[in-house]
Amino acid sequence: MKTTDRLASVHNDRIQFASMRPPGSRFAAIERRVQVVAPPEAVRLAETGDVALLDELLPLLAIRDRAFAAEVMLSAMTGVEADLVADYTGKPDAWLDGLGATARERWIAWLDQHRAQLVWDAPNRSFALR
């Protein structure tokens, strides 16, 4: 599978993200949200609300130098696995050697199940399930 040019900024060495407790959360630690904060191209991409982008990110999950960045993008855009991503802040290698090994299968399965239900929630800069 070929990756698209618009994903050039999605790279482990470049991606930066914030994690936060969602507004109104009743949980102290287990509920987190992820927001891409750099590089600017990736920030813009993550906020396009383009469902096709989710599928375009899947091949990157098989490329070690880009897999964690793709995971961050997917998580930021869907809210899925945000607690996992947040816990691996600053430790992409640990994620790559552990949870990263099956990330592509997990996202393929999740998208197959939920793609048709995804609607863009602009205020939250994320997809929500219809």
Interface residue list for another protein (CB under 8 A): 12, 16-24, 26-33, 35, 37-38, 61-65, 67, 78-81, 83-84, 86-94, 96, 98-102, 104-106, 108-110, 126, 128-129
SS3 string of the chain?
Answer: CCCCHHHCCCCCCCCEEEEECCCCCCCCCCCCEEEEEECHHHHHHHCCCCHHHHHHHHHHHHCHHHHHHHHHHHHHHHCCCHHHHHHCCCCHHHHHHCHHHHHHHHHHHHHHHHHHHEEEEHHHCEEEEC
Nearer to another protein, 6 or 59 (CB): 59
Nearer to another protein, 52 or 130 (CB): 130
Nearer to another protein, 6 or 22 (CB): 22
